[in-house]
Structures are given as C-alpha cells and as structure tokens.
C-alpha cells in the first residue's frame, strides 16, 4: 500500500519480532510476547494494522508465531483479529495463520479459542513458531 511504511521491530527476550509489509499486506509476529507495558507495545502495531485495513483493498494476512503470550498480548491479538474480522465482513480478502509448536498443546488450545468465533479464513499451522 502506498503511503504506509513497513513496520519492523527486532524481537527481544520478552517482545516479539514484528515484520509489517504494506506491499504484501502482511503482518508477521514471532517469538515471545510478555512486554512490561503490553498495550504500549501493541498500540503502534494496532495503528499500523488499522491503517493497512483502512487505506487499501488488497488481501490482508496476519501471521502469528508466538510461543508465550501474556494476558495483555492475548487481548491485543483479539483486537487485531477483530479489526481483520470487520475487514473480512466488509468484503476484504483476509487470512490468519497461527503457527504453533506441535508439541505445545496449550498454544494450540489458545489459538483455537481465539480463532473459533471468527468467520474469516484461519488456519492453525502446527509447524513450530515462525
């Protein structure tokens, strides 16, 4: 999408690596997510995703490859998924892929719980964190 800068954040021990590609319409999160100020961390990501949804009509794809999420991060995932669900209902092509360590049943269960009510196409890929 023209006008929106790519979003790149290096991962740390407690915050995920973030790769936002406006051209491809992809936002990718990988690593662990338990930053000290979770909502402050995710606010710019949500703004970026919101801009991506509002100012374009190309396909959107969210790839989540997070091993551990604190409660604030789960809330932020819900907010992102709600944004994309609205875009999907409005007719935008949207896809969500949640990558889980196949050995980690808890992660698979969490992903399932967050995705189950959505009407947009989603997939839980048991192939390890991205």
Partner 1 sequence: MAVPERILERIEALRGLAREAGSPLAEEVAWLCDSYLKLENNMQKLSRVSDRMQSQIMTLNDRLAAAAVTDTLTGLANRRGTMERLAVLEQDAESSGFAVMLADIDRFKAINDNHGHEVGDMALVEVARRLSVTLGDAGMIGRWGGEEFLAVLPVPDRDTAQGWIERLHDALRGAPIDSPEGPLAVRISSGACWHRPGRALMQTILYADRALYASKEAGRDCGLWWEEAGQAGGRA
89 lies in the site for partner 1, by CB under 8 A = no
Q: Which of 43, 102, 106, 123 binds partner 1 (CB under 8 A)?
A: 106
Shortest separation between residue 35's beta carbon and partner 1, angstroms: 16
82 lies in the site for partner 1, by CB under 8 A = yes
Shortest separation between residue 44's beta carbon and partner 1, angstroms: 21
54 lies in the site for partner 1, by CB under 8 A = no
DSSP string, the chain: -TTPPPEEE---SSS-EEEEETTTTEEEEEEEE--TTHHHHHHHHHHHHHHHHHT--S-EEEEEEEEEE-HHHHHHHHHHHHHHHHHHHTT--EEEEEEE-TT-HHHHHHHHHHHTT--S-EEEEES---
Task: By CB under 8 A, name the binding residues for partner 1.
Answer: 71, 74-75, 78, 82, 106, 110, 113-114, 117
């Amino acid at each position: 999408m023209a006008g929106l800068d790519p979003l790149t954040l290096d991962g740390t021990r407690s915050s995920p690596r973030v790769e936002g590609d406006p051209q491809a319409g992809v936002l990718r999160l990988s690593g662990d997510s338990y930053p000290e100020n979770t909502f402050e961390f995710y606010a710019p990501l949500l703004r970026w995703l919101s801009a991506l949804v509002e100012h374009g009509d190309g396909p959107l794809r969210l790839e989540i490859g997070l091993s551990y999420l604190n409660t604030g991060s789960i809330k932020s995932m819900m907010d992102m998924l709600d944004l994309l669900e609205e875009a999907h209902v409005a007719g935008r092509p949207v896809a969500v892929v949640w990558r889980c360590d196949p050995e980690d049943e808890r992660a698979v269960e969490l992903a399932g719980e967050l995705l189950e009510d959505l009407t947009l196409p989603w997939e839980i890929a048991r192939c390890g964190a991205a």
